[in-house]
Amino acid sequence: MTAVRSSTPAISLSRTPSPGRTVETGWHRTLRRFRRNPLSVLGALIVAFFVVVALLAPFLAHPTERNPFMIPHSGYASDPHPPGPGHPFGTTEEQFDLYYGVIWGTRTAFVVALSVVATAVAIALVLGSVSGYYGGPLDELVMRVTDIFLAFPGLILAVVIVAVLGQSVRNAVIAIAVVEWPTYTRLLRGEFLRVRDMEYVQAARALGSGDLHIIARHVIPNTIYPMLILASLNMGGIVITFAALSFLGLGAPIGYAGWGQLISLSHNWIVGTAGDPFTFWYTLIVPGTAIFLFVLGWNLLGDAFRDVFDPRLQGSR
Amino acid sequence: MTGFILRRLLLLPFVALGVSVLIFSLLQFLTPAMRASLYIHDPKQLNALPDIIRKYHLDQPAYVQYWDWLTQVAHGDLGWSETAREPVADAIRGYFPATLELGVYSFACILALGIWLGTQSAVHKDRLLDHLSRFTSISGASLPTFVWGLLLLMVFYGHFGWFPPDRLSLAAGLFVRAPGFHPYTGLITIDALLNGQWWIFWDALRHLVLPVATLTYFLTAVLVRITRSSMLETLRTDYVRTARAKGLAQRTVVDKHARRNALIPVITLAGLLFVGLLSGVVITETVFNYPGIGRWGVNASQQLDIPAVTGFALIFSGLLVLGNLCADVLYALVDPRIRLQ
Amino acid sequence: MRTVTWIQRAAVLAVAAVVITSLGAAAVRGAGEPVKNPETLVELQFGDVASLDPALAYDIYSTEPIWPNVYETLIMYSGSSLDKFQPMLATEVPSLANHLISADGLTYTFPIRTGVHFHDGSVMTPDDVVYSVRRFLLQDQAGGPAWLLLSPLLGVDSTRDDSGKIQVAFADVARAVSAQGGSVVFHLKKPFAPFLTIIAAWTEIMPRAWAAAHGDWDGGPGTWQKYNNPKIEDRYAFDHMNGTGPFTLERWDRQAKEVTLVRHDGYWRRPAALQRVVIRSVPEFATRRLALQQGDADLVVASANQQSQLRGIPGTVLQDNLPQIAVQTLQFNYKINTEANPDVGSGRLDGGGIPADFFADVHVRRGFAYAFDYAGNLGGAYAGKGVIPHGPIVQGLLGFDSTVPVYTTSREKAVAEFKEAIGGKVWETGFKFTIPYTAGNTARQTGAQIVKDTVGALNPKFQIEFRPVPSSTLISLLLAHKGTMYFLGWFADYPDPHDFAQPFLSANGYFPVRGGYRNPEADRLIDEAVGTADPAKRKALYKQLSMIAYNDLPYLFLVQPVTYYTMRSWVHGWYYNPIFPGQYFYTISKR
């Protein structure tokens, strides 16, 4: 499913942020709450598994091309081949190795998702802080601009941007970041608005602390939790959007190690041959399972974060 | 209320303008030659590019092209779509009913299934049904639409042959496009009934099953979760406990009291669901080769058919604004605590 | 407490109903089943019709309904022959023998058939023929086919010069094609051997009165400039057809991507057997295949690597190995524009790039030619469907000569050539560049992979990459001379060797203009070969040209592809001619 933006109700922490350090007790409590829910643990395990795979990619699947993200060919025959010696998961059409594609596709997924989140957060930090902290007409302008961007269904905006910029992983990342930044900006702005009027901030201002100092030292650290929740819930959505773009021919090029790209190669083969419609099942199931597990893991983890860091929503699970 | 609605409607042209400016500013990244290539099909026609660039004024700066487009639109002409081979307005008018049909059936299924499953889940918390529906909703959020759609195609079309892609079978399609068939609404299921052709009705329905199932899976999952949590909260409230204590039957408690209040956050979701539907339509139509606006929009984007892309973007953003407006109005109607200022 | 609500009951009923009705419709039709829709033929292909105007359409998907199904020309190819003609809307095929071609080869006279009715009932006259040809010449849409007749008749490739100004006068056109009594006479600027083949495929006749009545040019001398270079949508003939052919256009549904033709009962020969023809564009291969399997489609077009999924379907016949007058090539860019060019690396011969004139050295080109794996390319990229060509003159054309040598894979020879290249510097420093290819074209991707693998294996300092680009980008690269090597194909406009020699070897041919190849000797031979009508003489000249192509090596000729069609066994009367853009439905019946 495409990235449904703002899929979570507005999150705001109601507990009083304490500038002091009571981290240890807080973390212990958090960890315990986390461990209590089996689904959270499952999510964490899945994500950890994928992190390990991504880090160990060069050892799990030796790159043979100059660009390790390009899946090696073995021969030029066009029919996909089932799992067998040398190809534990089989091959797609044009003989791209599915095992290699899935392993390095994990790296692609992380690179893309983290790039998008980083870009969106960077934009949000600048725009959201300026907008929330200073308010006034600047705030209005930023809000109207986010309105316009949010008026587009996300996937469609991404499709248009990539179509214009040209098909490549980099442009797909840019496109998805353009789709996601309004949500992060709005979240950050909301937090800024809330914090701006807190007593200790007023006090700091009265004492003559510079605005930048206040933003950096007081405001931003307290917005980490909501951002963390949003980002972790978003990771799955970003990867799905990227896969969707690749599936539409607007993301990773053919032969690139990306799950969506692998699935787009399966499109012509899902009805199998005249005798057996499931002949080429692996071309869809293998990369499909990879995406499913990855997104599942992040969704569970994100849910867990939300439960753990936002006590108000705990009862509704 | 009227004031609120009017003010929100004023947002429409503003958004439309913003969206069109956004698209045309993307033109800065395209060379005239790239845009002209939309009109040729083979490198042997390369010599014609300068001619084509001149003919369609593609070498003018983006703001000039935008102004030309704006004046054209002011006269009611949305331009010509090369990918659709007809005026953009005609293409939209032609493709929209298909998407509308898909959307209407999907929306109905999402609401019906989502609310019912969510309510049952909450009422029978921690029983088998609850676990099943929670598993479905989590997995629904994790499986991309196109993977799910391809899977369904593989099993129900490739193997069983029950539910084919596209909108109609060849025979039904020929009949529908022949002069004898009157397209009253553009929704083939309804038109078939109005024309008295039951076999076309069933044929169209058969073709809708998989796209609707694909489109609704994820959004139903979301709706189930929201309904469930909202229902759980409501069931815990004082007045419900009082109703139970008074000895009212479970059914009455759930149906009469709890549900109405639990539905409030669901309605706020309606706008979000609508957005999700519009996004999902693009992928679903591509996977199932369903001739709607989503598929056309993707084709137009891939081939840099700028007038089509702009028209397509305008329609979608317009729908979104209207959808959100409806959701807000509904919200105000349902929850007397809300007063729209 | 588990009450079954009405919603649940309704849902169960609905699902059951859908399942039950669907089960009834899923049968696969095998051989021996009754013919489905015996009066209607359904063809499924995967291209897009761009326009139905015969003067402006220039791609095979558009021209399939146009010719020879709805519009007809003066003469027609005889059966599957590419060089024998039969009369069509003319009553005789001009030749030197019957004096309808003048001795100097500059005048062609076509006596026009009488008693032929257009689809709207009006009678065809020589005036309509003259109008149709003049319209073809003068409307000259950018990127359209008008140059095919403009070139021999008026000596120019376009009615407009480079700055867009009109450069032909009506008087010239009037002199070039005119009616004389019951005949139409063409005056050529120079003798042009392939003239009849162009007439056979590109002079579709439509009525002048009908066109003029619907906002098109009226044929008058003073008004034609207004109608020059139209936008595609500006002509009534864009989506309305009125010809003399065995079928008329019922409708073109652009959303369903479907063209529907119905039988023309007033056809001047015996009416067609089929009552209705539907040509539909279905990009999804799986859908096409299943429609064929179930008998809903009668004829299906698919690409080479999908053939394995079409073999063995009961009740169908696979017409395989149909020769095509086409060739796929790999082209060298002799003068690369290295400015802001991501594909040339450093732009110098320093091991990290290639200089602008890298491919201008024949040893470099020969190195690539000997390294390439032609058999592997044919087997992998084209699923073995095709033959290795002997230069630009492909099989089926006059002048095809199987004794013309080809480059065969030879590692030693490749190494030897690279060692000599650019005074030996190439072998020492190595090079690095990227090949751009059309995204989604798996045949070209495989070809690029082969270049990279084979040449890269010769010397570790030879680094070749390849990247997919959308066709709009490839077109920009071609225009700006920025590509390094290009995978390009050429399909015949008309089945004459001139249509291959000129675009590949002439200084102002399409490909030399892009790649920079020049050989004045080739130009001379091309002019001579097209100007003489003597087949023996032409054969000898084209053999010389093929040898020039072999020695100069501006291109690697990779594959002459063959095609195939899959159809139900109840389809009879189908025949194939390589020059047809699609099917000729007139002779087809279903039994």
CA distance, residue C283 to nearest chain A CA (Å): 10
Mean model confidence pLDDT for chain B: 82
Alpha carbon distance C250, C65 (integer Å): 11
Alpha carbon distance B327, B333 (integer Å): 10
Are A267 and B312 in contact (CB < 8 Å)?
no
Give contacts of B320 with chain A, Cβ < 8 Å.
151-153
Alpha carbon distance C469, C474 (integer Å): 6
**Total residue length of chain B:** 341
User: Which chains reach chain A with 3 or more Cβ–Cβ distances below 8 angstroms?
Assistant: B, C
pLDDT tens digits along C210-266: 999 999 999 999 999 999 998 888 889 999 999 999 999 999 998 888 999 999 999
Residues 60-89 of B with CB under 8 A from C: 80, 82, 84-87
Provide the sign of the torsion angle of the four alpha carbons A235, A237, A243, A246, taken in this order.
negative
CA distance, residue B304 to nearest chain A CA (Å): 7
Are B51 and C26 in contact (CB < 8 Å)?
no
Residue A2 has pLDDT above 60, yes or no: no
User: Which chains reach chain B with 3 or more Cβ–Cβ distances below 8 angstroms?
Assistant: A, C
Are A277 and B158 in contact (CB < 8 Å)?
yes
Return the residue of C nearest to A276 by Cα. C309
pLDDT tens digits along A186-223: 888 887 777 777 776 777 777 777 777 776 777 777 77
Are C256 and B171 in contact (CB < 8 Å)?
no
Chain B contact probe: residue of A7, A145, A152, A299 with most B CBs at under 10 A: A152
Alpha carbon distance C259, C279 (integer Å): 5
Is residue A1 very low, low, confident or very high in pLDDT (cuts 50, 70, 90)? very low
C566 touches chain A (CB under 8 A): no
Q: How confident is the model over B226-249, as a mean pLDDT?
A: 75
pLDDT tens digits along C282-299: 887 877 888 898 888 999
B249 touches chain C (CB under 8 A): no
Give contacts of B43 with chain C, Cβ < 8 Å.
474-475, 478, 488, 510, 514
Ramachandran assignment for C465, one of left (phi > 0), alpha (psi -120 to 50 degrees), beta (any other): beta
Rounded (10°) CA dihedral A141, A142, A144, A145: 120
Token pair for residue A17?
């942020």
Q: Tell me the count of A-B CB pairs closer than 8 A.
A: 166
Chain C contact probe: residue of B27, B39, B47, B99 with most C CBs at under 10 A: B47
Q: How high is the pLDDT of residue A5?
A: 44
**pLDDT-wise least confident of B17-21, C86-90, C271-275, C557-561:** B17-21
pLDDT tens digits along B20-36: 887 778 777 777 887 88
Q: Which of C42, C254, C283 sits opposite B84 (nearest CB)?
A: C254
Reduce the secondary structure of chain B to three states and give it as a string.
CHHHHHHHHHHHHHHHHHHHHHHHHHHHHCCHHHHHHHHCCCHHHHHHHHHHHHHCCCCCCHHHHHHHHHHHHHCCCCCEECCCCEEHHHHHHHHHHHHHHHHHHHHHHHHHHHHHHHHHHHHCCCCHHHHHHHHHHHHHHHCCHHHHHHHHHHHHHHHCCCCCCCCCCHHHHHHHHCCCCCCCCCCHHHHHHHCCCHHHHHHHHHHHHHHHHHHHHHHHHHHHHHHHHHHHHHHHCHHHHHHHHCCCCHHHHHHHHHHHHHHHHHHHHHHHHHHHHHHHHHHHHHHCCCCCHHHHHHHHHHCCCHHHHHHHHHHHHHHHHHHHHHHHHHHHHHCCCCCCC
Are A76 and C449 in contact (CB < 8 Å)?
yes
Alpha carbon distance C575, C565 (integer Å): 11
Give contacts of C290 with chain B, Cβ < 8 Å.
157, 161, 164
Are A154 and B147 in contact (CB < 8 Å)?
no
Q: How high is the pLDDT of residue B98?
A: 93
Q: How high is the pLDDT of residue A15?
A: 39
CA distance, residue A166 to nearest chain B CA (Å): 9
Task: Calculate what percentage of chain A has a pLDDT beyond 70.
Answer: 85
Scan for tokens 């639409």, then name that residue.
Answer: B145
Residues 107-126 of C with CB under 8 A from B: none
Q: How high is the pLDDT of residue C520?
A: 94
Give contacts of A78 with chain C, Cβ < 8 Å.
305, 380, 383, 442
B47 touches chain C (CB under 8 A): yes
Q: How high is the pLDDT of residue B55?
A: 86
C305 touches chain A (CB under 8 A): yes
Residues 147-166 of C with CB under 8 A from B: 157, 160, 162, 164
Is residue C469 very low, low, confident or very high in pLDDT (cuts 50, 70, 90)? confident
Residue A174 has pLDDT above 90, yes or no: yes
Which residues, in sequence order, are bridge partners of residue C466?
A: C435
Are B166 and C287 in contact (CB < 8 Å)?
yes
Instruction: Supply the pTM of this predicted model.
Output: 0.81
Alpha carbon distance B112, C14 (integer Å): 14
Residue C28 has pLDDT above 90, yes or no: no
Q: Which are the contacts of B311, defined by CB distance < 8 A and separation ≥ 6?
A: B78, B79, B81, B88, B89, B91, B92
Q: Which are the contacts of A210, defined by CB distance < 8 A and separation ≥ 6?
A: none
Give contacts of C470 with chain A, Cβ < 8 Å.
166-167
Residue A315 has pLDDT above 50, yes or no: no
Residue B262 has pLDDT above 70, yes or no: no
Residue pair C325/C389 in contact (Cβ under 8 Å)? The answer is no
Q: How high is the pLDDT of residue B74?
A: 83
Residue pair C543/C279 in contact (Cβ under 8 Å)? The answer is no
3-state secondary structure of C484: coil
Q: How confident is the model over C549-577, as a mean pLDDT?
A: 95
Beta strands C247-253; C555-568: pairing state: unpaired
Residues 144-163 of B with CB under 8 A from A: 144-147, 150-151, 153-154, 157-159
CA distance, residue B279 to nearest chain A CA (Å): 5
Q: Which of A157, A244, A278 sits opposite B283 (nearest CB)?
A: A244
Alpha carbon distance B162, C294 (integer Å): 13
Q: How high is the pLDDT of residue A313?
A: 44
Q: Which of C305, C377, C463 sits opposite A78 (nearest CB)?
A: C305
Q: How high is the pLDDT of residue B122?
A: 80
Are C380 and A77 in contact (CB < 8 Å)?
yes
Residue A7 has pLDDT above 80, yes or no: no
User: Which chains reach chain C with 3 or more Cβ–Cβ distances below 8 angstroms?
Assistant: A, B
Task: Calculate what percentage of chain B has a pLDDT beyond 70.
Answer: 92
Are C287 and B177 in contact (CB < 8 Å)?
no
Q: How high is the pLDDT of residue C574?
A: 96
User: Residue A247: what are its φ and ψ, rounded to 5°?
Assistant: -60, -35
Residue C540 has pLDDT above 50, yes or no: yes
Are A291 and B147 in contact (CB < 8 Å)?
yes
Integer angstrom CA distances of residue B41 from C61, C62, C143 = 11, 11, 9
Q: At what angle do helices C535-552 and C498-505 cross, to 10 degrees?
A: 30
C20 touches chain B (CB under 8 A): no
Nearest to A182 by CA among A219, A157, A145: A145
Token pair for residue B89?
């307005």
CA distance, residue C383 to nearest chain B CA (Å): 23
Residue pair B90/B293 in contact (Cβ under 8 Å)? The answer is no
B159 touches chain C (CB under 8 A): no
Number of CB atoms found within 10 A of residue A58's CB = 12
CA distance, residue B268 to nearest chain A CA (Å): 10
For residue C392, cis peptide bond before it (omega within 30 degrees of 0): no
Q: How high is the pLDDT of residue C71?
A: 96
Residue C447 has pLDDT above 70, yes or no: yes
Q: How confident is the model over B70-79, as a mean pLDDT?
A: 85
CA distance, residue B84 to nearest chain C CA (Å): 7
Q: How high is the pLDDT of residue B244?
A: 73
Return the residue of C nearest to A67 by Cα. C465
pLDDT tens digits along A230-265: 888 889 889 999 999 988 888 887 778 899 989 888
Is residue A310 very low, low, confident or very high in pLDDT (cuts 50, 70, 90)? low
Specify the higher pLDDT residue, C442 or C432.
C432
Residue C207 has pLDDT above 90, yes or no: yes
pLDDT tens digits along A73-95: 777 777 788 888 878 888 888 78
Q: Which are the contacts of B338, defined by CB distance < 8 A and separation ≥ 6?
A: B331, B332
Mean model confidence pLDDT for chain C: 90
Are B233 and A267 in contact (CB < 8 Å)?
no
Is residue B204 very low, low, confident or very high in pLDDT (cuts 50, 70, 90)? very high
- Cα first-last separation, chain B: 8
Are B313 and A272 in contact (CB < 8 Å)?
no
**ipTM at complex level:** 0.79
B112 touches chain C (CB under 8 A): yes
Q: Tell me the count of A-C CB pairs closer than 8 A.
A: 58
CA distance, residue C58 to nearest chain B CA (Å): 9
pLDDT tens digits along A10-52: 333 333 444 444 444 566 777 777 777 778 888 899 999 999 9
Residue B51 has pLDDT above 90, yes or no: no
Residue B240 has pLDDT above 80, yes or no: no
Q: Which of A147, A270, A317 sits opposite B154 (nearest CB)?
A: A270
* H/E stretch holding C445: helix C442-456
User: Residue A153: what are its φ and ψ, rounded to 5°?
Assistant: -60, 135
Q: Which of C18, C160, C280 sits opposite B51 (nearest CB)?
A: C160
Scan for tokens 């299921």, then name that residue.
Answer: B189
Q: Which are the contacts of C505, defined by CB distance < 8 A and separation ≥ 6?
A: C392, C512, C517, C519, C522, C523, C526, C545, C548, C549, C554
Alpha carbon distance C127, B227 (integer Å): 75
Give contacts of C297 with chain B, Cβ < 8 Å.
170
Token pair for residue C457?
């294996």
CA distance, residue B180 to nearest chain A CA (Å): 35
Q: How high is the pLDDT of residue C32?
A: 56
Are A1 and B140 in contact (CB < 8 Å)?
yes
